Chains A and B, each alone.
Chain A
Amino acid sequence: MKTSLITFLTFLFVHLSAQDAASILDKIDANMSSKNRVFESSMTILGKRGSRTIASKSYSEGTNRSFTEYLSPASEKGTKMLKLDKQLWIYSPSTDRTIQISGHMLRQSVMGSDLSYEDMMDDRKLTEVYDAVVTGEEMLGDRKSIVLTLTAKVSDAAYHTQKMWVDAVRFVPLKQELFAKSGKLLKQMEMKDVIQVQGRWFPTTIIYKDMLKQGDGTEFKMTKISFDQKIPEHIFSKASLKQ
């Protein structure tokens, strides 16, 4: 009788914990996902020999379409990147050529940062990809956070497991650790400067760190952001790369 009660309570705890976690994921998606977004950003690559900053303007719609134009420095100005479904093209103004990024090149870093082209192409909703379990609570700086362990429920998730620290009040991720199937830590993200935009909480600074690479990571700062805008259809076409 006693054993059955313990089993029942354990099951209830796990079930409730999973249910809580699922609702947390929903809230995170509500904050982080949108029909589309337009933002200006600066990406600072913190390397061994100093850092460099690249500014860009991006348009993205859902998980399949995005367009980025680099604004500075002069060496990168005019470089454009278009993602349509699983394909990615880059236009380089110095050569006036558009090349399609494929295969092993997708695994290379974007402009020497800790982000690969693949990372930029993978941005599905968390609730579609992961089952979550609440595994604890921690203070991250002055914010109380809920620690979630996410395990892929679909076979085609980029990362099999994630550990996520979520702001307990605002429901935005404050820190994420992305693991390989083997359990090896591959990437770490820290989110800062959370602001409220159009009724949602959103971190405007993200520090990416590829844990297998040297360097201090890449700081991705959004200087302007707006959600659910009217984006002209021609932006997401190959023709826009050369304009």
Chain B
Amino acid sequence: MKLALKLAYRNLMGAGLRTWLNVIVLSFSFVIIIWLKGVMTGWDHQAKTDMTNWEIGGGQYWQSNYDPYDPFTITDSHAPIPDELKKQEETGEIVPMLLLQGTIFPEGRMMPVTIRGVSPTQSFLHLPASKLDTGDGTISAIIGAQMAKHSHLKEGDYVTLRWRDANGTFDATDVLISSVFSTNVPSVDLGQIYIPLSTLQEFALLPDEATIITLKNAEESATDYPGWVYKSKKDLTRQVDEMIKTKSAGQTVIYAILLLLAMLAIFDTQVLSIFRRQKEIGTYVALGYTKQQVVGLFTVEGSMHALLAALLSAAYGMPFLAWQAKVGWTMPIDASEFGMAIAQTLYPVYSFGLVVSTVLIITITTAIVSYLPSRKIAKMNPTDALRGKLQ
């Protein structure tokens, strides 16, 4: 085996530019695949962290009627906060939120919104809820940057907010936009306006009621409260998982094209080697190599492209990947329109497993591609091969 490696290395170096062209193409595959997979892992990490910080905390209880994808349910999605959870609200362990559909009229335009009631004293979600407490009796509201952009509202503006209470009676008031926050989680931003929970409960005639209760920490075993459904963090981030799974599947096509290009070059090289080096093959056999050993020698030679490519990738790829991890990749299109928790700049995250699995996949694929043309050697007549006769 040692001899095979030595011979393979010498033959590759002897081939000169042909070898290096193959190695360069293969090294591009290494770097691009690792980078793309790193971006996906980075997105997954960023999306889940942002969702945790801004929206879902360690998990949520949903009022049993509540379905965020079915607007028919929102009107009836409210219930009194369970007594056990109320104690946790005092210690800041939970954030109850009441949802109500309403309309705002910025500059006389009609915009449907979801009014979210949140306590100004909550601290674990990144929402600047403390800005809801103006202290002078003014009803203040906070909105996200995308919402502000669409409604042309800014800090200090007043906007008329209209809603219907639990009985269906219209009510309206002017609210002060006390803060505009920036988040990567669109479900917290687009079409949402936040006012103090107690104010909304009073407006809606739903005292002590809520639609969603967000927990600070994940519960090991969910407590069953009648009328409430527990949603674990995993349930709440399933959409991100599914999106990344779909995107990863789409990216596999890019990986396949990159690998195909590299493998085509290696396959051609192997075919050419076997065609041009028949005398060499005959000599190996004449010197006592079995046909299988010669096949092995050529397979190792082909596979060594992958090893050289891995080394070359490490030489220029590591600084590139490290630089990308630091500065991130800014998407050329506006990520806020995606409707998903996605930052404008994604920071790739590379794990040891990601690098090892990519190297292994490419090396094994290269070995297979190198082996396939080498099988022809086993069918060669050694005497004809020694004479260089075409077979």
Given A104-B114, A109-B110, A213-B110, decide whether A180 and B170 contact each other with a Cβ distance below 8 A: yes
Bound complex: CA A157 to CA B169 (Å)? 5
Instruction: Looking at the assembled complex, report how far the CB atom of B200 sits from the nearest CB atom of chain A, in whole angstroms.
Output: 14
Interface: A184 (CB within 8 A): yes
Q: Are B72 and A215 in contact (CB under 8 A)?
A: no
Instruction: Looking at the assembled complex, report how far the CB atom of A38 sits from the nearest CB atom of chain B, in whole angstroms.
Output: 28
Interface: A32 (CB within 8 A): no
Closest to A87 in B: B72
- One digit per residue, 1 when the CB lies within 8 angstroms of any chain B CB and 0 when it does not, for chain A 179-191 equals 0111010100000
For the complex, count residues of B whose C-beta is within 8 A of A.
Answer: 26
Interface: A152 (CB within 8 A): yes
Instruction: Looking at the assembled complex, report how far the CB atom of A114 sits from the nearest CB atom of chain B, in whole angstroms.
Output: 9
Bound complex: CA A160 to CA B74 (Å)? 23
- One digit per residue, 1 when the CB lies within 8 angstroms of any chain B CB and 0 when it does not, for chain A 150-179 equals 001001111110000000000000000010
Q: Which residues of B contact A157 (CB under 8 A)?
A: 167-169
Residues A74-131 near B (CB distance < 8 A): 102-105, 107-109
Q: Are A158 and B170 in contact (CB under 8 A)?
A: yes
Given A156-B167, A212-B108, A215-B108, decide whether A103 and B173 contact each other with a Cβ distance below 8 A: no
Q: Which residues of A contact B167 (CB under 8 A)?
A: 155-157
Q: Which residues of A contact B114 (CB under 8 A)?
A: 104
Bound complex: CA A204 to CA B113 (Å)? 34
Given A180-B162, A181-B165, A186-B162, decide whether A104 and B112 contact each other with a Cβ distance below 8 A: yes
Instruction: Looking at the assembled complex, report how far the CB atom of B172 sits from the nearest CB atom of chain A, in whole angstroms.
Output: 4
Interface: B75 (CB within 8 A): yes
Q: Are A186 and B170 in contact (CB under 8 A)?
A: yes
B105 in complex: contacting residue of A102, A155, A212, CB < 8 Å: A212
Closest to A158 in B: B170
Q: Are A182 and B110 in contact (CB under 8 A)?
A: no
Bound complex: CA A2 to CA B112 (Å)? 57
Interface: A214 (CB within 8 A): yes
Q: Are B169 and A182 in contact (CB under 8 A)?
A: no
- One digit per residue, 1 when the CB lies within 8 angstroms of any chain B CB and 0 when it does not, for chain A 200-243 equals 00000000001011110000000000000000000000000000
Instruction: Looking at the assembled complex, report how far the CB atom of A122 sits from the nearest CB atom of chain B, in whole angstroms.
Output: 8
Q: Which residues of B contact A214 (CB under 8 A)?
A: 107-109
A103 in complex: contacting residue of B72, B109, B160, B171, CB < 8 Å: B72
For the complex, count residues of A whose C-beta is within 8 A of B.
Answer: 25
Interface: B64 (CB within 8 A): no
- One digit per residue, 1 when the CB lies within 8 angstroms of any chain A CB and 0 when it does not, for chain B 78-109 equals 00000000000000000000000111010111
Q: Are A102 and B170 in contact (CB under 8 A)?
A: no
Q: Are A108 and B169 in contact (CB under 8 A)?
A: no
Q: Are A103 and B75 in contact (CB under 8 A)?
A: yes
Interface: B250 (CB within 8 A): no
Bound complex: CA A156 to CA B170 (Å)? 10
Main secondary structure of the interface of A (DSSP, over half): loop
Given A102-B71, A107-B103, A186-B162, decide whether A181 and B171 contact each other with a Cβ distance below 8 A: yes
Q: Which residues of A contact B162 (CB under 8 A)?
A: 107, 180, 186, 212
Q: Which residues of B contact A152 (CB under 8 A)?
A: 169
Q: Which residues of A contact B112 (CB under 8 A)?
A: 104-105, 107-108
Q: Which residues of A contact B102 (CB under 8 A)?
A: 107
Q: Which residues of A contact B170 (CB under 8 A)?
A: 158-160, 178, 180-181, 186
Q: Are A180 and B108 in contact (CB under 8 A)?
A: no
Bound complex: CA A107 to CA B163 (Å)? 9
Given A105-B112, A107-B101, A186-B162, decide whether A158 and B71 contact each other with a Cβ distance below 8 A: no
Q: Are B110 and A184 in contact (CB under 8 A)?
A: no
Q: Are B71 and A213 in contact (CB under 8 A)?
A: no
Among B101, B162, B170, B172, which residue has the most Cβ atoms of chain A within 10 A?
Answer: B170
Bound complex: CA A102 to CA B71 (Å)? 7
Closest to B105 in A: A212
Given A108-B110, A212-B108, A212-B162, decide whether A103 and B74 contact each other with a Cβ distance below 8 A: yes
Instruction: Looking at the assembled complex, report how far the CB atom of A54 sits from the nearest CB atom of chain B, in whole angstroms.
Output: 18
Bound complex: CA A221 to CA B258 (Å)? 67
Residues A7-41 near B (CB distance < 8 A): none
Bound complex: CA A102 to CA B70 (Å)? 9
Closest to A100 in B: B72
Q: Which residues of A contact B107 (CB under 8 A)?
A: 214
Bound complex: CA A22 to CA B194 (Å)? 42
Bound complex: CA A155 to CA B170 (Å)? 11
Bound complex: CA A159 to CA B107 (Å)? 23
Q: Are A156 and B168 in contact (CB under 8 A)?
A: yes
Bound complex: CA A107 to CA B167 (Å)? 16
- One digit per residue, 1 when the CB lies within 8 angstroms of any chain A CB and 0 when it does not, for chain B 141-165 equals 0000000000000000000101011
Closest to B162 in A: A212
Q: Which residues of B contact A210 (CB under 8 A)?
A: 110
Given A103-B75, A107-B101, decide whether A184 and B108 contact each other with a Cβ distance below 8 A: no
Q: Which residues of B contact A105 (CB under 8 A)?
A: 71, 112
Bound complex: CA A157 to CA B170 (Å)? 8
Instruction: Looking at the assembled complex, report how far the CB atom of A4 sits from the nearest CB atom of chain B, in whole angstroms.
Output: 38
Q: Contacts A156-B168, A181-B170 known; list 10 others, CB within 8 Å.
A: A103-B74, A104-B101, A105-B112, A157-B167, A182-B171, A184-B173, A186-B162, A186-B170, A213-B108, A214-B107
Q: List 9 tightest A-B contacts by C-beta distance, closest first.
A: A214-B108, A103-B71, A104-B112, A180-B172, A212-B105, A155-B167, A181-B171, A156-B167, A184-B172
11 residue pairs bridging A and B, Cβ less than 8 Å apart: A104-B103, A107-B101, A156-B169, A157-B167, A178-B170, A181-B169, A182-B172, A186-B162, A210-B110, A212-B160, A213-B108
B interface with A by C-beta (< 8 Å): 71-72, 74-75, 101-103, 105, 107-110, 112-114, 160, 162, 164-165, 167-173
A interface with B by C-beta (< 8 Å): 102-105, 107-109, 152, 155-160, 178, 180-182, 184, 186, 210, 212-215
